[in-house]
Structure 1
Amino acid sequence: MTRVSLITGGAGGMGTATAKVVGRDHAVVLCDVRQDRLDGALAELRDLGIAATAVHCDVTDRQAVDELFDTASGLGPVTSVIHAAGVSPSMGDGDHVMRTNALGTVNVNEVFYAAAGDGAAIVNVASMAAHLLPDELIPTGQFPLAMRDDEAFMSSMATACGIGGEQARSGLAYAISKNFVKWYSSSQAERFNARGLRIVSVSPGSVDTEMGRLEEQAGAGAMVADAAVPRWGKPEEMAELFAFCVSDRAGYLTGTDILNDGGVVASMRERARVAQAG
């Protein structure tokens, strides 16, 4: 039976690049909120001989996510999910960023947990931003609210994102929401393992995609220039890692985050240490 790989945010740069990798031995289902980009990605994949299906889906809508998995399961067993859907600070206000990145992750992962069969794996795309925010600014104690009360979670996160004023709210929402993705992927590992499932997060740095370039003038460009590897990451470099994480070759990998940022975080931490020591 044909194995199926489901990719959210599948029409984005990293999503489409990942489809080209997993599509070598899986049927691929792409979901995205932008129909125009979905149509383009689908045509590109079919030109490469990859069996692909496109589904217009907003991951913040649990019913839509249920229907997405129903479509994917109708093609064969869903053995892997790459959850790349998300928005950056330049793409909306703090509420939109938090709802999409955090609650969207809960929706996709909980439906995966309920629907996937033994041996399946999911990788959630976090961000290097999850590694840069001071621990005291991360409301980890309130994160479990997302599992039981969406609005209580959003209210709590709005308070946490308000400490820097309105100008900083969207950026803080992004960093905190990606911390949530990282936390969720770790905290749920034991529960997922009880059903024979693996869950991992990957934190990309600045990647040369449409979304990545939106943040170039907001600070990402400077971080790239100062990184240990002073260039933008390639979508294909992220895609190969995502594909490995959900493959059988990574069968012992779960409950952790992989930082793939060209050494940005390492460089920043070491420079801060040297400056403090001096």
Structure 2
Amino acid sequence: MTQTAVITGGAGGMGLATAKLMGKDHRVVIVDLDQTRLDAAAVELAAAGVEVDTVVCDITDRASVDRALEQAASKGDHVRAVVHTAGVSPQMGSAAKVARINGTGTVNVTQAYLARAGEGDVLVNVASTAGHGLPKVLLPSGAFRLAEKNPAAFEAAIVRRARVGGKKWHSGIAYGISKAFVLWYTRAQAVAFGARGARIVSVSPGSFDTAMGRLEKDHGASEFLKVSAIKRFGKPEEIAAVLAFCASTGPGYLTGMDILVDGGTRAGAEFKKAR
């Protein structure tokens, strides 16, 4: 049976780079909101020798996610891995949009795949270094537990808490909270995935040279280079290597944790203060 990998946000920089790597030994199904973007990505992947299919999907709609996974398996293939890179950055929308896509979208992808996961399967969620940096007092942690049963209340709690920084920082704080939620939710779902013989991991990118990353370049991302150990933005291929590794069969004991890939930004900031 052919092993299939589903990559949400597969037409974007990180997703497309990951699809190229995973396509070496998987049939790849890339998922995105825009068919035009999917078609362009599919042409590029096919030229690289990757067996690829495309599915239009809205991750904020659980039924749409279910249909995407069903379509991915419609050829009788087994969806062995899902790499969830779809999301939005602060410059791409309001705090409410950020909370809905990054928060509820992650819940939908996680729960839809958990219902289908089996022995040796894996979900890799993309979080962010921003999820590591917020003070705990800013996190509406109690509302995180509402994410599955009452997504509207969960999203509203993120939006309310994000207002603490004023209008200028509203989306940015919501982004950090949404990614802190991804970290928490990945840990929270590890036992459920383990009961099915499957794994769940998150990966937290720092500043990367993708279309989304460039949107944030003049809105704080470049400032991180002042303290980072590696004085440049990361390359899509570099984060893809980590995502593909986590989604491979090799690290079979890796679950319920986050891997930070930030070029040493947090380490540099910590030890700059210590000097």
Normalising by structure 2, we get a TM-score of 0.97
Residue ranges of structure 1 left out of the alignment (5+ in a row): none
> CA deviation digits over 1:8-57, x for unaligned, max 9?
00000000000011100100000011222211110000111111001111
Tell me the equivalent position of 1:34. 34
> Using the alignment, how far apart are the partners of 1:263 and 1:173 within structure 2?
24
Tell me the equivalent position of 2:16. 16
Aligned CA RMSD, in angstroms, stands at 1.0
1:85 counterpart SS class: coil
AA aligned to 1:122 is: L
Q: Is contact 1:77–1:116 with CA below 8 Å preserved after alignment?
A: no
1:249 counterpart SS class: coil
> Using the alignment, how far apart are the partners of 2:156 and 2:230 within structure 1?
39
1:122 counterpart SS class: strand
| Residues 8-157 of structure 1 mapped to structure 2, 5 A cutoff | 8-75=8-75, 76-157=77-158
Tell me the equivalent position of 2:201. 200
> Using the alignment, how far apart are the partners of 2:96 and 2:235 within structure 1?
29
Query: What is the deviation of 1:96?
Result: 0.3
Q: Is contact 2:227–2:272 with CA below 8 Å preserved after alignment?
A: no
2:28 counterpart SS class: strand
2:208 counterpart SS class: coil
> Using the alignment, how far apart are the partners of 1:103 and 1:161 within structure 2?
16
2:53 counterpart SS class: strand
Identity fraction in percent: 50
Q: Is contact 1:20–1:50 with CA below 8 Å preserved after alignment?
A: yes
> CA deviation digits over 1:154-197, x for unaligned, max 9?
22222211111222110011000000001001111011101111
Q: Is contact 1:78–1:117 with CA below 8 Å preserved after alignment?
A: no
| Residues 182-221 of structure 1 mapped to structure 2, 5 A cutoff | 182-221=183-222
> Using the alignment, how far apart are the partners of 2:51 and 2:72 within structure 1?
12
Tell me the equivalent position of 2:223. 222
Query: What is the deviation of 1:225?
Result: 4.0
| Residues 229-248 of structure 1 mapped to structure 2, 5 A cutoff | 229-248=230-249
Residue ranges of structure 2 left out of the alignment (5+ in a row): none
Runs of 4+ residues over 3 Å off in structure 1: none
AA aligned to 1:102 is: G
Q: Is contact 1:225–1:231 with CA below 8 Å preserved after alignment?
A: no
AA aligned to 1:27 is: R
AA aligned to 2:74 is: G
Q: Is contact 1:89–1:171 with CA below 8 Å preserved after alignment?
A: yes
> Using the alignment, how far apart are the partners of 2:84 and 2:216 within structure 1?
21
> Using the alignment, how far apart are the partners of 1:111 and 1:260 within structure 2?
27
> Using the alignment, how far apart are the partners of 2:206 and 2:159 within structure 1?
25
> Using the alignment, how far apart are the partners of 2:127 and 2:71 within structure 1?
26
1:44 counterpart SS class: helix
1:201 counterpart SS class: strand
Query: What is the deviation of 1:226?
Result: 3.0
2:115 counterpart SS class: helix
AA aligned to 2:84 is: H
Normalising by structure 1, we get a TM-score of 0.96
